[in-house]
Amino acid sequence: MKRLGFLALLLITLTVTSCEKTTDCGCSPVESYPQTYNFQNVDHSGQDDRLDMLSEIMAYVKTSDDGNTISQATLLNMFSNDGYTWEKTELNSSTKQIADKISSDANENIGIWISQLADISKNPGTGSNGTAGLVQNAGGTRQYLMDQNGFHLAEMIEKGVMGALSYYQATGVYLSSSKMDVDNETVETGKGTAMQHHWDEAFGYWGVPNEFGSPGFTYDKTAAYHRFWAKYTNEVNEVLGVNSRLMEAFIKGRTAINNKDYSARDESIANIRNTWEEVCAAMAIHYLNGAKANISDDAMRNHQLSEAAGFIYSLQFNPTTRMGRSEIMNDILPVYLNNLYEVSVGDLNTLRDLIASRYELEQEKENL
């Protein structure tokens, strides 16, 4: 991490304007924050490792779309970082893994998707309604390995892990009271206080560069950070302006911790949870729109509906979610997205409108 000079690290500047220099002027202080996430003693290397591992996992999983066989044992070894040699050599000395950080509510679902993927990939024929296999788009330029109901299992695994790992760990674990109501006095060089470190780890799961969303920042789709939540936050940024909003919440929260202003910290926690959930819901709407535009193309429609389903599934992993696990697993996915070959535009409009209403995105839904 960059080490900045003293002046660049001032965390709060109190400026009194239009007042006499008295202690009872009644003026409100103006708070100043860094524009980028450049603080002393920041370490989220464990989160970086897990995101790098997930990148390699997904690269392997998506070879199934080319007709390659996926080994369930290999995938499980990758998730547990046990007996697998990573392409990124630094990961081979890492003690981190993904499996032990996934929400317990997701273990069964993700395990089923992995098992199905491995089984279907052994000898994939042509997929269709009721038959698992490879499904080509109308132009013959793309194909996806899908189950008998049209779910693109690679997308279900990716979006499911994004929700049950990164989203859950950031919003539900590291920003929870168990990780926030801890020591904020003793500084460990390179990591800061326990509270600072936990905040930085939550930030690390977002997977963005320190300058993300700041004035002058240009998103680079060729950069290593173009993946997972960084990618999808930026995807809806033009409509929702979430890049700067989410980054500002992380910066303000870290600044508040440095300043021991726990009321401001808690306000930032609420903003992070709400804004990140907005990204998740908006991406579900985005892919429902995409599926509507490709309603007559089995491959493209089902691929985009699988992404939508994955984001809807992920909404449950925020502790303050507006759409909980019971509703998602009982009233939404099995009702609207049970068999992707049989959905109608009316079904998709109803589901999109339900999500848009719940997340106050009615004005933006057509543009997502």
The predicted-structure confidence for 77-123, as pLDDT tens digits, reads as follows 999 999 999 999 999 999 999 999 999 999 999 999 999 999 999 99
The closest of 303, 302, 269, 287 to 355, measured between CA atoms, is 287
Structural domain count, the chain: 1
Q: Give the SS3 label for residue 305.
A: helix
CA-CA distance, 84 to 95, in Å (whole number)?
A: 12
**Is residue 368 domain-resident?**
no
Domain of 86, in residue numbers? 45-359
**Is residue 6 domain-resident?**
no
Q: Are 282 and 237 spatial neighbours (Cβ–Cβ below 8 Å)?
A: no
**Is residue 15 domain-resident?**
no
Task: Give per-residue pLDDT as tens, 148-195.
Answer: 999 999 999 999 999 999 999 999 999 999 999 999 999 999 999 999
CA 128 to chain centre: 31
**Is residue 367 domain-resident?**
no
**Is residue 274 domain-resident?**
yes
**Is residue 115 domain-resident?**
yes
**Is residue 5 domain-resident?**
no
**Is residue 355 domain-resident?**
yes
Instruction: Give the pLDDT band (50/70/90) at residue 368.
Output: very high
Name residues whose C-beta falls within 8 Å of residue 185's C-beta, 6 or more positions apart in sequence. Answer: 193
Host H or E run for residue 270:
helix 262-293
